[in-house]
């Protein structure tokens, strides 16, 4: 019978990603159309007279010219709100993971927790070691606590060989770790996906912009300078947004995985100490 104490997740955290993706896209579309596409960001055109679909597609009716950065971003075309949605998702997941992983670390320094547990084990004071884990109130403390409780049970179990008892302790720690890791790693796959998807979408937007630019150059007679500038602008805007989004996603993904690996290492260190101490003292 498992005695693992699992960190409790709020119901919202379990549906976070499912709600975040459509909401992020909706917010991005609204910002794109009504903030970046506002007529005050352009000269020579009242975009409010255009249809909503035309505004979403970033159409440049009557050669409207942007006179600020909002207007320039709006000229990036329909790929821009998709990239904006990815950016919002990255920021939201970053904040959510920061809170979750911080809670998983618990209170106090993890190195000090492991050291205190090892000290109490050396003095055969299992209850004090369990008390240190209870003070931590995090995933690492829960896993070590599960191993210590199993240690206590095996110490009073007369019907098993020592090797079987050590294996039982190790198995309990592994089961506790398997319960806690998914909580810490949740939604990281979305960040990992955005690192690639953001770059590919930026490339897609860049290609569309360059196609428009070359189309302007191919016009009979003198090239359409406005259309050429619009195409190049669209290409560069999508490139910039995609690179920024992917860069943030890569950085935060690596930070979070490093923190999780560090916690896993502390768990392994404590688990090895528990098993070795049991083998040497019983």
pLDDT in tens, 114-159: 999 989 888 888 899 999 998 888 888 999 999 999 988 888 877 7
Are 171 and 3 within 8 A, CB to CB?
A: no
Residue 90: its pLDDT value, please? 95
Residue 64: its pLDDT value, please? 64
Mean pLDDT of 86-108: 90
Are 214 and 176 within 8 A, CB to CB?
A: no
Residue 34: its pLDDT value, please? 86
Of 179 and 220, the one with more pLDDT: 179
DSSP secondary structure letter of residue 60: -
Nearest alpha carbon to residue 162 among 40, 268, 281: 281
Q: In which element (H, E) is residue 66 found?
A: strand 65-66
> 226-253 pLDDT, tens per residue?
666 666 777 788 888 999 999 999 999 9
Q: What angle do CA 139, 176, 281 make, to 5 degrees?
A: 105
Using only the alpha carbons of the chain, give its radius of gyration: 28
Q: CA-CA distance, 107 to 110, in Å (whole number)?
A: 8
Q: Which two tokens stand for residue 272?
A: 């090895």
Residue 250: its pLDDT value, please? 95
Q: With the C-alpha atoms ordered 250, 97, 19, 80, is the resulting torsion angle positive or negative?
A: negative
Nearest alpha carbon to residue 9 among 255, 182, 262: 182
Q: CA-CA distance, 170 to 156, in Å (whole number)?
A: 17
Residue 108: its pLDDT value, please? 85
Residue 2: its pLDDT value, please? 45
Residue 243: its pLDDT value, please? 92
Residue 1: its pLDDT value, please? 43
Q: List all residues 6 or more positions away from 160 whose beta carbon is below 8 Å from its beta carbon.
A: 154, 168
């Amino acid at each position: 019978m498992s005695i693992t104490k699992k960190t409790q997740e709020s119901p919202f955290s379990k549906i976070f990603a499912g709600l975040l993706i459509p909401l992020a896209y909706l917010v991005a579309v609204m910002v794109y159309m009504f903030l970046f596409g506002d007529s005050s960001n352009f000269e020579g055109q009242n975009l409010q007279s255009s249809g909503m679909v035309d505004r979403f597609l970033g159409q440049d009716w009557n050669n409207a010219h942007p006179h600020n950065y909002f207007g320039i971003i709006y000229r990036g075309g329909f790929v821009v709100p998709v990239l904006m949605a990815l950016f919002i998702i990255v920021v939201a997941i970053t904040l959510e993971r920061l809170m979750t992983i911080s809670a998983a670390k618990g209170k106090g320094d993890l190195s000090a927790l492991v050291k205190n547990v090892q000290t109490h084990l050396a003095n055969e004071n299992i209850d004090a070691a369990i008390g240190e884990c209870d003070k931590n109130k995090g995933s690492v403390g829960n896993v070590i606590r599960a191993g210590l409780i199993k240690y206590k049970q095996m110490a009073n179990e007369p019907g098993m060989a020592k090797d079987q008892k050590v294996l039982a302790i190790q198995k309990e720690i592994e089961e506790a770790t398997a319960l806690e890791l998914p909580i810490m790693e949740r939604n990281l796959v979305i960040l990992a996906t955005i690192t690639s998807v953001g770059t590919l979408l930026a490339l897609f937007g860049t290609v569309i912009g360059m196609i428009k630019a070359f189309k302007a150059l191919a016009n009979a007679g003198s090239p359409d300078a406005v259309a050429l500038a619009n195409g190049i602008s669209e290409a560069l805007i999508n490139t910039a947004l995609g690179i920024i989004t992917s860069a943030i996603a890569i950085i935060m993904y690596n930070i979070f995985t490093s923190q999780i690996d560090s916690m896993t290492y502390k768990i392994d260190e404590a688990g090895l100490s528990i098993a070795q101490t049991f083998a040497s003292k019983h």
